[in-house]
Amino acid sequence: MRFWDSSAVIPLLVAQTASARVDEWLDSDPSVALWTLTPVEISSAVRRFVREGRLEDAEADIAEARADELVATSHIVLDVEAVKAQARRLVRVHPMRAADALQLGAAVEWAHGRAAGRFFCTLDAQLARAAAREGFRVLSGAAE
């Protein structure tokens, strides 16, 4: 099982340059762990694509339905209070935005504080660096 940041999930749902790469990640391990608020981040990105003219409404609806299917078959990190505590620690030790700290905090909670050997999937370079410093094996948009 791998933890997936929303930046890595979106190309699973909407065709992008990184789609082939993340498809390979999912093919090699279809067990997915997600933060409980990831569906909100996905909807935000998909609807932003509509506003920018990069997607039609019907395509966005399909992407969101696929997101719902992914969420229904994934392990979801639900403990908001524990994730908040992790995120507060993370912003003190890594240069990161709050939403990224919540994603990484959820991954730390999913790993029960033992990130070594656990995979973290992201296309965000700054988040990838922080996840690696926390001990995760990172699959990212950069060459691995």
The tokens for 126 are 């700054």
Q: Is residue 21 part of a domain?
A: yes
Q: What is the DSSP string of the chain?
A: -EEE-HHHHHHHHS--TTHHHHHHHHHH---EEEETTHHHHHHHHHHHHHHTTSS-HHHHHHHHHHHHHHHHTSEEE--HHHHHHHHHHHHHHS---HHHHHHHHHHHHHTTT--TT-EEE-S-HHHHHHHHHTTPEEE-SS--
CATH number of 115's domain: 3.40.50.1010
Q: Is residue 52 part of a domain?
A: yes
CA dist 68 and 62 (Å) reads: 10
Report the pLDDT value the prediction gives residue 4, as an integer from 0 to 100.
98
Q: What is the pTM of this model?
A: 0.94
Domain containing 80 equals 2-139
Per-residue pLDDT of the chain (144 residues; tens, 9 = 90+): 999 999 999 999 999 999 999 999 999 999 999 999 999 999 999 999 999 999 999 999 999 999 999 999 999 999 999 999 999 999 999 999 999 999 999 999 999 999 999 999 999 999 999 999 999 999 997 544
CA dist 124 and 29 (Å) reads: 20
As for how many domains the chain has, the answer is 1
Task: Evaluate whether 107 touches 80 at the Cβ level (below 8 Å).
Answer: no
Q: Is residue 144 part of a domain?
A: no
| Residue carrying structure tokens 């340059």 | 17
Q: Is residue 134 part of a domain?
A: yes
Q: Is residue 44 part of a domain?
A: yes
